[in-house]
Structures are given as structure tokens and as C-alpha cells.
Amino acid sequence: MKFMKFNLACWLCLALELSLVPFAVSGQEAGDARESQAASIPRTADGNPDLSGIWQVLNRANDNVLAHSASDGVPAGLGVVIGDEIPYRPEALPRKEENFANRETRDTEANCYLSGVPRITYMPFPFQIIQLPEVTTFLYEYAHATRYVYTDGSEHPEGPINWWMGDSRGHWEDDTLVVDVVHFTDQTWFDRTGNFHSEALHVVERYSLVDATHIDYEVTIEDPAVFSRPWTMRMTLYKRTEPNFQLLEYDCYAFEWEQYYPYPGL
């Protein structure tokens, strides 16, 4: 009887050990997969992920960063805001509603002004990243916009300064380029529906190279004058790999938008 109890106890221990093996193997495989993925990412001479190339989004965030149904002239979109909610302060909501009612004339895009950060990233135009050790340059097809992200350890200049594209200072956190952006004008919007911000806007972008042709783009928005808490958008940037693909000349003319990007029904 004692022998049977001993055997039973041994079998129970063995079964427990064997049940843990798949988890250990799975953990090992996951670790190996992460290492393999990191090793496959193209890198610059200084060892950082190489973000150079021409990129573009495949979403409808420029129409509306929140999930929305199709309407007159506007395709449906899944939305890019985490939680699908923008936490406006109650006193800021009337401005949002007023913007929406006057979107045909007030939107910076409708007036061909620079669209600001982060909106210029998810407009329906490609943009090019040129990466150097101390500065990363963003060239946008839309309105010939240019943006410099300084990664030389320098600080933001003293403000306040009203810039359409803000001032960008970046640094690397492991394999992610983190860009801190301040000094904005309050004239730009997040999309065509009138989601807006004040001059106190603070943007933190995170560019994480998933593989050679995909960037995980995450941006956190903070503006205590308009929002009750920070909120975040996330999307994928796709590398354009067609032979000889390049940015083209695009001069924005306000009268074009009424014909090609109608606002009614948003």
C-alpha cells in the first residue's frame, strides 16, 4: 500500500513537471522570436533601427481620428484613438462643435496651411525619413513641408513660440525613436471634423520599426487647456517599396479641396 502511495506521488510530480515543459518551451520560443525580429531590423552604422525610406498610412484618420460610418464623400474608418474617445474638458466642447459646423472654411487643410503634428503623419500623402546620427529629417509631400527632429541631446528653445509644426527633439529608448514636440500654434486640427488643441499642446511620438517595411507609430496628446487627461493614437506606417517611388510635387490650392475632398456629411 505504501509502495502504491509512493508511486502515485511520483506520478503526480512527474505530471506536474511535464505540464510545465510546454510553457518553458513556449517562453523560450517567444524570446527567440523577439531576438530574431530585432536582428532582422535594418540598422544604421551607429546601431539604431534605420527608419530611412518613404512611408504612408492606410487609414481614414485625416477624415476623423475616431471610428466613423461612411457619409457623403467620406469613407468609413475604424479610428486610431486608443479607447475611441477624446477626453475633452466640458468647457472645450462648444469650440469642437463650432469647428465642425464651420469646417469647410476653418480647417487648416481647407486653407492649405501646414497641418501640424501629428496630423501631417496620417494625411493621405507619403513622406520621407532621412536619418542621420544627430538629426532626422522628415520631408512631406503635402505642401512641401519639412521637419527636423534633433537627436543631438539639445533642448527645446525657450518659449512660448507659435510654430505650425512645433519644435521636435528626439532620443532613442532601446529600438524606439521617441520625439518630444512643443511650441505650437493653436490653429491646426487633428482631423477634418474639428478636433482641436490649444497653444499648450504637447506631443510625444514613438516610432518603432517592426520589420523592414512597417513602423508602429504611437503618439500621445497632452493639452490641459482642452483635454482632461492625455490620450493616445496608434497606427501602422507602411514603407513604399515600388521601384523608383518618390515624393512628387504637390502645391496645395484651397479651391481644389471642395472638388476632391468634399466636407458635407462628415
Instruction: Give a three-class secondary structure readout of 205-219.
Output: EEEEEEECCEEEEEE
**Residue 57 exposed, middle or buried by CB count within 10 Å (0-12, 13-18, 19+):** buried
Contact of 128 with 53, CB cutoff 8 Å: yes
Instruction: State the pTM of this model.
Output: 0.83
Q: Output the pLDDT for position 40.
A: 83
Q: Output the pLDDT for position 89.
A: 98
Please, what is the average pLDDT of the chain? 88
> How many Å apart are CA 46 and CA 33, to the nearest integer?
23
Confidence of residue 15 (pLDDT cuts 50, 70, 90): low
Place of cell 468609413: 76
Confidence of residue 4 (pLDDT cuts 50, 70, 90): very low
Comparing C-alpha atoms, which of 75, 40, 39 is closest to residue 60? 75
Across 253-263, average pLDDT:
52
pLDDT in tens, 78-114: 999 999 999 999 999 999 999 999 999 999 999 999 9
> How many Å apart are CA 78 and CA 57, to the nearest integer?
13
Confidence of residue 73 (pLDDT cuts 50, 70, 90): confident
Residues 6+ apart with CB under 8 A from 8: none
Q: Over 60: is that where the pLDDT of 33 sits?
A: no
> How many Å apart are CA 152 and CA 135, to the nearest integer?
7
**Residue 127 exposed, middle or buried by CB count within 10 Å (0-12, 13-18, 19+):** buried
Confidence of residue 6 (pLDDT cuts 50, 70, 90): very low
Q: Output the pLDDT for position 3.
A: 43
Q: Output the pLDDT for position 265.
A: 42
Across 152-178, average pLDDT:
97
> How many Å apart are CA 74 and CA 140, to the nearest integer?
23
